[in-house]
Amino acid sequence: MTNTALSVELQAVSPAEAESSLLTPDVSMVILTWVTFLLLSAVLYKFAWKPILKTLDEREESIRRSVEGAERIKQELAQMHSTRHQMLKEVEQKSREIMDESRKAAAQLAGAIQHKAKEDAKILLENARRDISEETEKAKMVLRAESARIAVELAGKLIHKNLDSEGNRRFIREFVEET
């Protein structure tokens, strides 16, 4: 059939006939449709449905494991977070204790150093005073000895020269200027 013949045949059907053919389907066509549907369903069930269901079941199991793993990881992370938080508190507390102990030790050490420095200064001061006293005594002894020597020399010269009092004074001045 050609296009014109088909269009002529379609035009030959009246609108009322077209409506009635749609409302009253052909029984053989219905049976053939059902048979085709059932055959196609059986073939799909045998060859496609089971693999599709198996794949879907595997996918469902994979998703379920992933969700369980995510929940487990979430719980582990929460536990690790709380453990880390607790450890940070402990470390902070220990560092405070160490700092307090260090401050106390530093204060004790500073006190000990100051005490030692005071003792050393006291010893040095006592040694210096003793040395000054000894040197003063030595100087006094030297001065006494020198004074005695000068007095003896002066007396010897005075006796030797038996001069008048003005001459003695001049002699003493000259002798003091010499020494």
Cβ atoms of 163 and 171 closer than 8 Å: yes
Q: What is the pLDDT of residues 92-107, one digit of tens each?
A: 999 999 999 999 999 9
Reported as a pLDDT band with limits 50, 70 and 90, residue 19 is: low
Instruction: Please tell me the pTM assigned to this model.
Output: 0.39
Angstrom distance (rounded) from CA 55 to CA 46 = 15
